Amino acid sequence: MIPAAFEYHRPADMADVIALLEEHGDDARVMAGGHSLIPMMKLRMAEIPHLIDLQDVAGLKGITVADGRVTLGAMVTQHELIQHQGLADAAPILREAALVIADPQVRYMGTVGGNVANGDPGNDMPGLMQCLDAEFTLVGPDGERTVSARDFCEAAYMTEREDEEVLTAISFDAPAGGYAYEKQKRKIGDYATAAAAVILQKDGGTCTAASIAMTNLSDVPVWSEAAGEALTGTTVDAAAVSAAVQAVLDDIDPVEDNRGPVAFKRHVAGIILTRAIQRAWDRA
Amino acid sequence: MSDKMHIKLKVNGEDREFLAEPRELLIYALREHLDLTGPHVGCDTSHCGACTVTIDGKSVKSCTMFVAQANGAEITTIEGIGQPDALHVLQESFREHHGLQCGFCTPGMITRATKLLEENPDPTEEDIRFGMAGNICRCTGYQNIVKSIQAAATEMNSAKEAAE
């Protein structure tokens, strides 16, 4: 409950953030909504001598939808994702996923950037961003670069982001067709036992494209290219769904914890993916 | 040990200033520096919501915010929502509908419910249960909390209609 002492910084622009990260190196960490970092600090699993609060940093807020491209500032909260009508029209899967993340209070504070940068495989947004083929903008001492969501996660809590970089924005093409974010959890606010993000396109009765990613079934989110391919060109009949499930089961690597043993998680993954595909297909 | 910061908050309409270490959690600052002991601490993992207060228009678990982060903010706690001789509609409704027993979750529940009804003045039962899902209660089984909030919503809506 009692975090270790730290020096608090509240810079107003990104240049000052980068300067602080360069000055303090490993001893500094940025904080967005604080709803993963502060709990870790309270348990002393994270000790951060220099805490850099991003709340006043200009340019990290805001949702834009223009020419079919969606851009989310890293400091956009889950609450804002849910409330934004333009986003609900352009990419309704964001609202569907945000509503199964945490609880109202946490959603007022927790940000989309923090959710994806955290690196916890339990977070829901990283898998969703892989499904959407999103790009993450990282700003560091050498300027800006973009990393594909599909290349961003390396291992639990390990990402492509360098210590002196800050994730500033997320962008993706507004997805066409049907969508679903389906999550099995023990109760409100729990991380997924298994969750599936599905986007697919239908032309006539045939699936013309599909993207599938799974949450909390490995130490990183799992975008399964083979699962998407298993649906493409089919009528999404039982055989095709079964092939997609098999492809996902070949790609995931869940571990046993108090959400259940590996065999159970693999079973749940199949059920959840089947439901997500069905719902996305109905909406396509 | 880091230096203490000069913290300024507007709490329940009053300007308050005090010195605090940045690492002090807002809940402790409210309880220990400002003697506002209505908001409670029920967990150390940000689940229970007993510490819920309203900060700049958001329902926030004050155990998951450093006092340094809140510096400059406007905060409402249960003490600012009503007074014993002039209860807020929600407070009266929780009493009327037996929406509390031990009372430990109640300050967070009512503070959260004020914001819920502000955002959704006419919630369904499902809206209420989902909108209150960040607040845990060990005594009531939630049923009477739902009734309390429903009744308060009805009363607030008819008061608003009467005023129009």
Domain with CATH 3.30.43.10 in chain A: 7-53
**pLDDT value at B164 more than 90:** no
CA distance linking residue B34 with residue B7, whole number of Å? 12
The CATH architecture of the domain made up of A178-283 is 2-Layer Sandwich (3.30)
Give the N- to C-terminal CA distance of chain B in Å, as an integer: 56
pLDDT for A54-112, tens place per residue?
A: 999 999 999 999 999 999 999 999 999 999 999 999 999 999 999 999 999 999 999 99
Whole-number pLDDT of residue B3? 86
Exposure b/e, A130-150, CB count within 10 A at least 16 = b: bbbbbbbbbbbeeeeeebebb
List chain A residues with CB under 8 Å of B23.
2-6, 41
- Partner-chain contact A108 B65, CB within 8 Å: no
Whole-number pLDDT of residue B153? 98
Residue identified by tokens 């300024």 is: B8
- Partner-chain contact B64 A8, CB within 8 Å: no
- Long-range contacts from A133-136, C-beta under 8 angstroms, 24+ separation: A133/A172, A133/A173, A133/A211, A134/A170, A134/A171, A134/A172, A135/A170, A135/A171, A135/A172, A136/A167, A136/A169, A136/A170
pLDDT for B113-127, tens place per residue?
A: 999 999 999 999 999
Mean pLDDT value across residues A177-182: 98
pLDDT for A18-52, tens place per residue?
A: 999 999 999 999 999 999 999 999 999 999 999 99
Q: Pairing mode, if any, of strands A50-53 and A7-9?
A: parallel
- Partner-chain contact B131 A104, CB within 8 Å: yes
- Copy the structure tokens of residue B101: 């027993």
The distance from CA A227 to its chain's CA centroid, rounded to whole angstroms, is 19
List chain B residues with CB under 8 Å of A5.
1-2, 21-23
**pLDDT value at A8 more than 60:** yes
List chain A residues with CB under 8 Å of B134.
102-106, 188-189
How close does chain B come to A194, measured CA to CA in Å?
21
- Give A185's contacts (C-beta < 8 A, 6+ positions apart): A100, A191, A192, A193, A195
For the domain made up of A7-53, the CATH class stated in words is alpha beta
- Copy the structure tokens of residue A17: 């953030």
Mean pLDDT value across residues B40-55: 98
Residues of chain A numbered 155-214 and touching chain B (CB < 8 Å):
188-189
- Partner-chain contact B61 A51, CB within 8 Å: no
**pLDDT value at B1 more than 70:** no
- Copy the structure tokens of residue B50: 């007993």
Whole-number pLDDT of residue B84? 87
List chain A residues with CB under 8 Å of B47.
189
Average pLDDT over chain B, rounded to an integer: 97
What residue in B sits closest to A100 (Cα-Cα)?
Answer: B130
Q: Pairing mode, if any, of strands B52-55 and B58-61?
A: antiparallel
The answer to whether ipTM exceeds 0.90 is yes
For the domain made up of A63-173, the CATH class stated in words is alpha beta
CA distance linking residue B158 with residue B164, whole number of Å? 10
C-beta of residue A215 within 8 angstroms of C-beta of residue A259: no
Mean pLDDT value across residues A113-142: 98
Assessment of whether the complete model's pTM goes beyond 0.90: yes
Among A136, A171, A173, A168, residue whose Cα is nearest residue A152: A136
List chain A residues with CB under 8 Å of B21.
5
List chain A residues with CB under 8 Å of B1.
5
Whole-number pLDDT of residue B2? 63
What residue in A sits closest to B46 (Cα-Cα)?
Answer: A39
Of A5, A6, A39, the CB nearest to B64: A39
Percent of chain A at pLDDT > 70 equals 100
Residue A108 contacts B, CB cutoff 8 Å: yes
- Partner-chain contact B45 A108, CB within 8 Å: no
Strand order in the sheet with A63-66: A63-66, A69-73, A166-173, A135-140, A143-148
Burial class (CB in 10 A: 0-12, 13-18, 19+), A49: middle
What residue in B sits closest to A4 (Cα-Cα)?
Answer: B23
- Copy the structure tokens of residue A54: 């991003």
What residue in A sits closest to B129 (Cα-Cα)?
Answer: A188
What are residue B67's phi and psi, to 5 degrees? -60, -30
Whole-number pLDDT of residue B158? 96
Interfacial residues of B (vs A; Cβ cutoff 8 Å): 1-2, 5, 21-23, 25, 41, 44-47, 49, 52, 58-61, 63-66, 68-69, 71, 112, 116, 131-134
How close does chain B come to A24, measured CA to CA in Å?
15
CA distance linking residue A53 with residue A51, whole number of Å? 6
Average pLDDT over chain A, rounded to an integer: 97
CB atoms within 10 A of CB A56: 12
The distance from CA B22 to its chain's CA centroid, rounded to whole angstroms, is 23
Strands (E) across B12-145 are located at 14-20, 52-55, 58-61, 74-76
Domain with CATH 3.30.390.50 in chain A: 178-283
Domain with CATH 3.30.465.10 in chain A: 63-173
